Amino acid sequence: MLRLRDKWVWDFWLHPGSDRWHLWFLQADRALKDEGLRHWNVSHGHATSVDLVHWTQEGTCFAPAESPAWDDKTVWTGSVIRAGVGGTDGRGLWHLFYTGTCTAEDGRRQRIGHATSVDGHAWQRVGNGLVLDLRVEDPVSTHYEEHLDGPWDGRAMRDPWVMPDPSGAGWLMYFTARTNQGDALNARGAIGMARSDDLHHWTLLPPVYAGGDFGQLEVPQVFAHGGRWYCIFCTAAEHWSATYRERAEQGGFGTPVTGTHYLMAESPLGPWHVAEGPFLDGAFPCRRYAGKVVQTGSGLALMAFDYWGTDQQFLGTIGAPIPVQCDALTGLLRLQP
């Protein structure tokens, strides 16, 4: 569906806009040859579509800041909402929340930033951009792992998903995190939480989910459907905890896979639990990753970026939407290719 001749694309996020879908995505030059280098040579691309299948390229729209800055090394996955007044179409200012890392820390400490735009393409950081970080003087920060070495890519505080608080005024932010609890690294993956009244000042809260099932739950997306709440996430086979592996074996839904799955709850604040049964979209080796569920006029659909091809080469493309069926009784989701 979306392939750039000279760039790989991977994690992405969408907004329906007023008359067309907007798609923002991470991108890096294919000239790097080694796909493992893409994470450290990244910018944001932008495309638009009226049908989620045929896309018009709008070009690069956001990049790391000039040094020195807290986000001068990378700008990674985020989300976009519209709020307040402004915008070229009068429907509100565009707000981008994104992950940043800095060169001075060799990209080992992730933080969350904020930028705005009148057209969804030309972004300007709000101040220096930084809106959420762990602080030593904040007792809530101790719920989260401050770990820069070891098998991970540093301190996890990334992939913000921002949405209006359905219980009233204000905004909720979900993000990929890890906790300090549990001896096994693969039992520490969590979904972090923060709240804001104005999108500019955020209060860090304890994780909204820390079930001990995975080493990390990446790229969360929270939405309501059919009276239930869903939190889409992605993770790799090697990041399944021993506990979840045992549950999968006993449940008869197989060996570890890499891909996209989801949590379920009766409220956006939880309690959340991993949906029963096999992954929504999993395979080993990985086929697709970092899925997002879109709600279209014809129902739910899953979009994800294509990972490995048949020749085990990184594809770096985004596939067309795959219809998703929701069981009316259980609320469980399944793909309908």
In this predicted structure, the answer to whether residue 324 has a pLDDT above a threshold of 70 is: yes
Domains delineated in the chain:
7-335 (2.115.10.20)
Task: Supply the Cα-derived Rg of the chain in whole angstroms.
Answer: 19
Coil/strand/helix, residue 142: helix
Q: Name 225's Cβ contacts closer than 8 Å, sequence gap at least 6.
A: 295, 300, 326
Q: What is the mean pLDDT of residues 212-236?
A: 97
Question: With a threshold of 0.75, does the pTM exceed it?
Answer: yes
Cβ–Cβ < 8 Å for 172, 163: yes
Separation CA 160–CA 195 (nearest Å): 12
Chain centroid to Cα 327, Å, comes to 25
Alpha-helical regions (H) of 149-295: 242-251
CA distances from 303 to 22, 149, 331 (A): 14, 33, 19
In this predicted structure, the answer to whether residue 68 has a pLDDT above a threshold of 90 is: yes
Cβ–Cβ < 8 Å for 86, 118: yes
Which of 140-154, 162-176, 213-227, 300-314 has the lowest average pLDDT? 140-154
% of the chain residues with pLDDT over 90: 85
Q: What is the mean pLDDT of residues 213-221?
A: 97
pLDDT of residue 100: 98
pLDDT band at 297 (very low <50, low <70, confident <90, very high): confident
Smallest CA-to-CA distance from 61 within 122, 115, 119 is with 122
Separation CA 214–CA 11 (nearest Å): 19
pLDDT band at 150 (very low <50, low <70, confident <90, very high): low
pLDDT tens column, 86-115: 777 778 899 999 999 999 999 999 999 999
pLDDT of residue 87: 76
